[in-house]
Amino acid sequence: MGGNGALVRADGLTKRFGEFEAVRGIDLDVRPGEAFGFLGPNGAGKSSTMRMISCVSPRSGGELTVLGMDPDRQGPRIRARLGVVPQLDNLDNDLSVRQNLHIYGRYFGLGKAHLRDKAAELLDFAQLTERADDPVEPLSGGMKRRLTIARSLINDPELLLLDEPTTGLDPQARHLLWDKLFRLKQDGVTLIVTTHYMDEAEQLCDRLVVMDNGRIAAEGSPGELIAKYSTREVLELRFAPGTQQDIEPLVADLADRVEVLPDRLLLYTADGEAALAAAHSRGVQPLSSLVRRSTLEDVFLRLTGRTLVD
């Protein structure tokens, strides 16, 4: 392993595509056994970083070691020990579910007898045993995703890279997948996940970085990030659209920070109920109010802004 036991270590890691700089010098340490997340809007550089760590994309600058090796020189040796779940499924739709596992496993130098048992185990894990000999094409999106994850485990990887594992899935399929990923983590697999779902990051990740515009904007555990970039609670005051700006000066001093949205005010404060009581005593009459805990979403929007990224 590289210095201080990190499975992945990046130092000033950079990726350029011609003139465009997708990753602008990031530093990372991913430790054994942890679930590490890349959070960020589209185009933040998450996937480019993942592809460099997967050893399918050479870095343009900086240092990178994966499993203690240099991807530029020892790509195949590193890949032999990784599991990769790409953003877009790349299963062979014309083959059966079992054949997809088997052929992929062969590329890792695994023997046929070993693969027979391993495929059975993974089909069970992915709840696809009954579809084992069906072609992949007609499977649902959730089933294909589960098969892609099962396939990535064929070599018992030490490090599993998941690029937006649940994008496009319905809530049931997402929860099932999270369940699978928890089990893997308990088995000692180190996970690196990219996502733009805050709930996914909060559910899965021990530690995460928020990426924006090719750089790391913040780093820490979900709790640390909330403590650092948001407040413990958020008071949401809803008003008729257009009237909320006039209220803002009345409550500005009740919170660390006030955000004005089209139909409401968000008051970031340690004690939401107290702020609400204070607002009421000043005669503020919102249509409705809500005190909730701060979430990663608050952190994310604070760090990366509310402007739509294309």
Partner 1 sequence: MTTVLARQATGRVLSPTRASLLVVGGLWTWYRRNWRASVTSGFLQPVLYLVALGFGFGSQVTASPATLGLPYVQYLAPALLAASLMQVAAFESTYPILAAFRWQRTYLAIASTPITPSQVLAGQLGWIAIRLSFTAVAFTLVAAVLGAVTGPGIILAVLISVLTGMAVSAPIVAYAATLENEGQGFNVIFRFIILPMTLFAGTFFPVDQLPGWAHPLVWITPLWHGTELSRDAAFGTLELWPTLGHLTYLAAVVGVGVYLGRRVFNRRLAV
Interaction site with partner 1 (CB under 8 A): 17, 31-34, 51, 54, 56-58, 75-77, 79-82, 84, 86, 88, 90-96, 99, 103-104, 106-110, 114, 155-158, 187-189
Taking each helix axis from N to C terminus, what angle separates 141-152 and 171-186, rounded to the nearest 10 degrees? 10
Distance CA 50, CA 41 (A): 15
Least distance in angstroms from the C-beta of 163 to partner 1: 11
Minimum CB separation from partner 1 for residue 145, in Å?
14
Q: How far is the CB of 112 from partner 1 (least distance, A)?
A: 11
State the nearest-atom distance from the C-beta of 235 to partner 1, in Å.
Answer: 36
For partner 1, give the closer residue by CB, 118 or 264: 118
Q: Are 185 and 35 in contact (CB under 8 A)?
A: yes
Residues 105, 119 contacting (CB under 8 angstroms): yes
DSSP for 72-112? HHHHHHHHTTEEEE-SS----TTSBHHHHHHHHHHTTT--H
The nearer residue to partner 1, 34 or 248, going by C-beta atoms, is: 34
**Alpha carbon distance 239, 83 (integer Å):** 49
The nearer residue to partner 1, 73 or 306, going by C-beta atoms, is: 73
What is the rounded distance in angstroms from the CA atom of residue 297 to the CA atom of residue 195? 12
> What is the nearest approach in angstroms of partner 1 to the Cβ of residue 90?
4
Residues paired with 238 in a beta bridge = 264, 288
Judged by beta carbon, residue 99 or residue 295, the one nearer partner 1 is 99
Give the nearer residue to partner 1 in terms of CB position, either 76 or 171: 76
Residue (128 or 237) nearer to partner 1, CB: 128
Q: How far is the CB of 13 from partner 1 (least distance, A)?
A: 16
With respect to partner 1, which residue has the nearer C-beta, 13 or 254? Answer: 13
In the block, tokens 């779902």 appear at 197
State the DSSP H helix or E strand holding residue 178, giving kind and residue range, or none if neither: helix 171-186
Least distance CB 135 / partner 1 (angstroms): 8
- Is 35 or 217 the residue whose CB approaches partner 1 more closely? 35
In one-letter notation, the amino acid at residue 213 is N
User: Which CB atom, from 18 or from 242, has the smaller least distance to partner 1?
Assistant: 18
Rounded least distance, CB 84 to partner 1, Å? 4
**What are the phi and psi torsion angles at 67 (to 5°)?**
55, 35
HSE-up of residue 90 (Cα within 13 Å, Cβ side): 8
| 185 contacts: CB under 8 Å, gap ≥ 6 | 33, 35, 191
Rounded to the nearest whole angstrom, what is the least distance from the CB of residue 2 to partner 1 in the complex? 16
Give the pair of three-digit tokens for residue 135. 């072609």
Strand partners, 235: 267, 291
Say which residues have a Cβ less than 8 Å from residue 144's Cβ, sequence separation at least 6.
Answer: 89, 91, 136
